[in-house]
Amino acid sequence: MKICVMQPYFVPYPGYYLLFKEVDYFVVMDDVQFNRRGFVHRNLFDVFGNKTWITLPLKKKPLNTLICDLEFDINSEASEHFKKKINFLQNSKNLDFIMQDLTKLHQTPLAYINNLNKKILKKLKLNNKMILSSSLENKKLKGEKKIIDICKELKASEYINLPSGKKLYNNKYFKKENIKLTFLKEYKGKKLSILNYFFENKNFII
């Protein structure tokens, strides 16, 4: 069985979704510390020729907050700012399949992100079998050890990751556990939210 383990990203670039084409199960890493410089809560969009970060309105939390414990701050200026920024997507009917869901913030950020990604996967006609890492018995492990433990628990024979993961993993530790370590090729398109691609082409595929 082939799996990947990735943090839940807010409407990420197409390369992220290529993982779903290759794996049997996509493990959503939700029980790790939230990285404020990552892509869990934000992404890069092309807004009429201008590259713009659009950021989800999150409540302020301690630095060690886990992704699964994040909350939206729906009554804040940040929430109104987010809705105004995301509004540009309404200019394309190609995004009717997801527009209403983009402003449904009365849920946890984790549920919100996963629901959006499931909508996109359905549009792309890709496998959407997801497992939350918080549902597995490896909460005390970190980094590479956590990934290998997840592979073993799910009886995975191959672990697939994005090219950026090459600096994170050592093949000898996976080989020791009889797990094949594979990296996808670098995505050749622009690293913008996949919604930008649908904005331009309703039949976009990866």
Tell me the pLDDT of the chain (206 aa) as tens digits. Answer: 999 999 999 999 999 999 999 999 999 999 999 999 999 999 999 999 999 999 999 999 999 999 999 999 999 999 999 999 999 998 889 999 999 999 999 999 999 999 999 999 999 999 889 999 999 986 688 899 999 999 999 999 999 999 999 999 999 999 999 999 999 999 999 999 999 999 999 999 99
Q: Extract long-range pairs of 58-65: CB within 8 Å, 24+ residues apart.
A: 58/109, 61/34, 63/33, 64/33, 65/33, 65/34
Lookup: tokens for 23: 């794996």
Q: Which residues contact 55 (CB under 8 A, 6 or more apart)?
A: 41, 42, 78, 82
**Closest-CA residue to 206 (of 73, 51, 21, 25):** 21
Q: What is the pLDDT of residue 139?
A: 67
Phi, psi of 194 (to 5 degrees): -60, -20
